[in-house]
Structure 1
């Protein structure tokens, strides 16, 4: 008898034609984006409504300030920043002023001021900083959670993005908004167009993307100017928060002053003065618009062509139409020299008119030059 061990039959399982069933994804729901339960963490990151620039720029917001060159935007912003640091509203070590629109001498002067008040001064090609890397620097601050409480001031913003390129401006402000959401503060100084609008107001330069995506936006415009001082007016045209609708300042422009003296000369103006400044601004815009006619009429009178027919003939030869010359003669007629009164008229026989330049301390030529230039 054979002793043979019997083993159970082996069943071979074929792997052919077997498929792994795909994992079913959950149905879409906005629940995945819900912030509920995160309010405590978000509140810790929220900044109090503190002004970095009094009545203009709030901590934790993006603010744009537009002005023509030499209006005083850098001077006034530095003056207001220093006041905020001195009052304790802002810590100087949290402020980074990026000076990308200055001469070497100007940079050194402002650096000394920054050192005195404890805020940071940064400039392109110094210390390894490059403007074309700015967005990547900000991205690192966001990713590394170091943006909270930091204030960045860009002077001027056109050095960091092409304001005429909608795509570039949009991308720039996208990361700017992320910086704000991370607790940062962004203040952007920018230029206006060379030409004013039909109402005589200056207009911000570039596409509207910066304005659309910032929290507050202001136009800063020159109102009056003499040999010794200048008055300027901030006008708000976009706001989120309790910022001023209008704010006026005066500062010295006397020659041979130090920049520190100029900063110290910046003074706010009261409400009544602001209203007067607004009126002066309208007059100044009109004078600027009528500058050619004013210059031609002034030259004609200085050369002895002060009777109306002679004035009109002289103006026509200089390229100023009869209608425009008559209007200017009427608009700037008065008894006391000012931006709105440049000459007086003496009426003679048969409705004749003779014009004489109004004078101020026998220095009319200098004054008219100032009037023509606003």
Structure 2
């Protein structure tokens, strides 16, 4: 079962502020770029003082981007040589932005299942302590390939978490915030661009009302990456971006990992909290009713659909169910989903499950489910 994305809008704002205050970004990308700040302080070494370095960021020569399907290769970052330098103000960091166009085709030969597996491996590496900057290109490339297959929305994929220390109380000073890795800010912005690309791949062509960003989705061939990055870099709350800037519907927000209103995110948190209890209740019922054995995860997914959009029409619920499954198979017939929904509600009620205040959105359960 895949974990849900961390939902802390305040922390995302703090990380963006930290990124804007930083004077110098570290060299990143596993040696794929040469990073030298515009004015580097003189350093002493065994051979004497060094002169200030003034060279800009330069990409290295191109290397093969062909994905390696070997399981042993999952521990190695994918080299992405084509980049463009993004220079912010003098008081902010200078760092290389992914070449989104080049990344879209890196993993195109892989299936949805292979891409999800690869993404889960990247999440495990970051969870084990590896910096996001090391796997950033691979994460973005895998995510863009999943967008183009359009089977598993960003919200239903394995969650990539930043290295966030416990949030102190009261709110620390600006200097104390420097303990947060700058890579967390890059992860937050990348997730927003990936969300926007998913919407474009889904056929969104709306003219958005945000001044200067009206044509974000206008090109049918590709998202406008520069506008997407500009919006992701704005130090605005998720609600401001999702509603004021993009006018996203609830159905659109359900699919996204970052661009969601607080009420939608609260639903996701509630469903994440309740899902283990749902599974445990169904397992207890399966001990009394052997016909349930093997169907527990499938029924839990159906419960998630009902909690995600309890008042939605059934044709929308079948789409949500297909997204949770992440399968290329046709959606279930509405009558089949309705019948299984009644089944899971009956067993949960008989098993004593009470959702309390949770009227939530669905968490992502990995893998396929029995269709019975």
TM interval, shorter chain, is under 0.3
Bigger radius of gyration among the two: 1
Structure with the larger helix share: 2
TM-score between the two structures when normalised by the length of structure 1: 0.25
Structure with the larger strand share: 1
